[in-house]
Amino acid sequence: MIKDLLFKLTITSLVSGVIGVCLHPFIGFWSAFGLGFAFQIISNSLYNNFVASKLANESDRILNERVDMLTRNDVSFPCPCGNNTFDEIIILQGDNVFTCPKCDQDVRLSITLTPTVVTTPLDNEKHLQRLSQIKPEEESQ
Ligand SMILES: [Zn+2]
């Protein structure tokens, strides 16, 4: 920490010294050195604020994305006791156990995935048109 601070002060002083040497004919070495030093500190502070703001925005975006993803897993289901309806966020890979506030029992939600093939509905008009084009000889083959 102190080593890092000393390194930064050394670099800032060296750059300020270069600025002081370059501008000493116009405003004097120490004035140019001070201006260079102040300019570096202010520009570094502005840059750090900019980066922090950008990181905060990115962090907010990621957090909102996660909240959005979690709310997609929001399900509603009745308790076996019949006196309560759970409105919970479920996790597909996790163990979904919830305590019913009415009967004070732990309820595990079993998730069953049933894959089904998605098909397109039959286009009757097109099918009839195709059937009408088939000649009786072709039909018998
Ligand atoms: Zn219950």
The pocket of ion ligand 1, defined by CB under 5 A, consists of 79, 81, 84, 100, 102-103
Residue 55, CB-side half-sphere exposure with 13 Å CA sphere: 6
Alpha carbon of 76 to ligand 1 centroid (Å): 14
The answer to whether the CB of 107 falls within 8 A of the CB of 86 is yes
Note the helical H segments in the chain. Answer: 2-27, 29-72, 124-133, 136-140
Reported confidence tier of residue 134, pLDDT bands at 50, 70, 90? confident
Alpha carbon of 87 to ligand 1 centroid (Å): 13
Alpha carbon of 106 to ligand 1 centroid (Å): 8
CA gap 89, 76 in Å, rounded: 9
Higher-confidence position of 35 and 120: 35
Contacts 24+ apart (CB under 8 A), 129-135: none
What is the pLDDT, as a whole number, of residue 128?
Answer: 85
Q: How many CB atoms lie within 10 A of CB 90?
A: 15
Alpha carbon of 92 to ligand 1 centroid (Å): 22
Reported confidence tier of residue 40, pLDDT bands at 50, 70, 90? very high
Alpha carbon of 111 to ligand 1 centroid (Å): 19
